A and B are shown apart, each in its own frame.
Chain A
Amino acid sequence: DIQMTQSPSSLSASVGDRVTITCRASQTINNYLNWYRQKPGKAPKLLIYAASSLQSGVPSRFSGSGSGTDFTLTISSLQPEDFATYYCQQSYSTPGTFGQGTKVDIK
């Protein structure tokens, strides 16, 4: 299996902060990298697909970048609803393994 490693595992931030989460794959996955947000008690929601494409309906404060093995999710101005856990996922091969998650909480 391809292993996905996110950093940091958790972070504390304030509303309006710029937040960056990184994800590294154990082998090249081209741009088959997706990002999800999961609020407590809810199903995950797709934010970014193909490393940098914004899913329909997702606010433009979310952006993604990277290719190969190293990827980044950026939230330009953190909003109250963004305090949640974020997961990267590779869809280059089956199973589409997830990173371990990054929890964003209120500073």
Chain B
Amino acid sequence: EVQLVQSGAEVKKPGESLKISCKGSGYSFTSYWIGWVRQMPGKGLEWMGIIFPGDSDTRYSPSLQGQVTISADKSISTAYLQWRSLTASDTAMYYCARRGDSSSSADYWGQGTLVTVSS
């Protein structure tokens, strides 16, 4: 069974750093792109970027490039989303999702990680 399991909720202060994770299982982790999707409170879905764990090829949404870093450790089948300096506007639910073979759709999703940034 394909599963993506994300790390738990985080509460941080502005200016702090953060790295959240997404562990894949039940499939060949290095053979599928993994992406991160942001959902701000009460808002819609937004692709942030995507990584191919097999060779770490990474693409970012132009609007978010430079604000976050996406990485992966294929030895432990885990993808990461990282911030160097959080702001209040980073408060959101973050989902990881596998980009499947069928029309590059997001066929499996993690359960989400809620990040709250507040002073």
Contact surface of A with B, Cβ cutoff 8 Å: 1, 31-34, 36, 38, 43-46, 49-51, 53, 55, 87, 89, 91, 94-101
Contacts and interface: CB of A to CB of B under 8 A. Distances in A.
A46 B97 CA distance: 11
Contact of A96 (B44, B60, B104, B107): B104
A51 B110 CA distance: 23
Interface residues of B, number: 28
Given A1-B62, A32-B103, A91-B105, 5 more contacts: A32-B104, A53-B103, A55-B102, A96-B35, A100-B44
A55 B107 contact: yes
A101 B45 contact: yes
Contact of B47 (A32, A51, A55, A96): A96
B61 interface: yes
Given A43-B95, A87-B44, A53 B106 contact: no
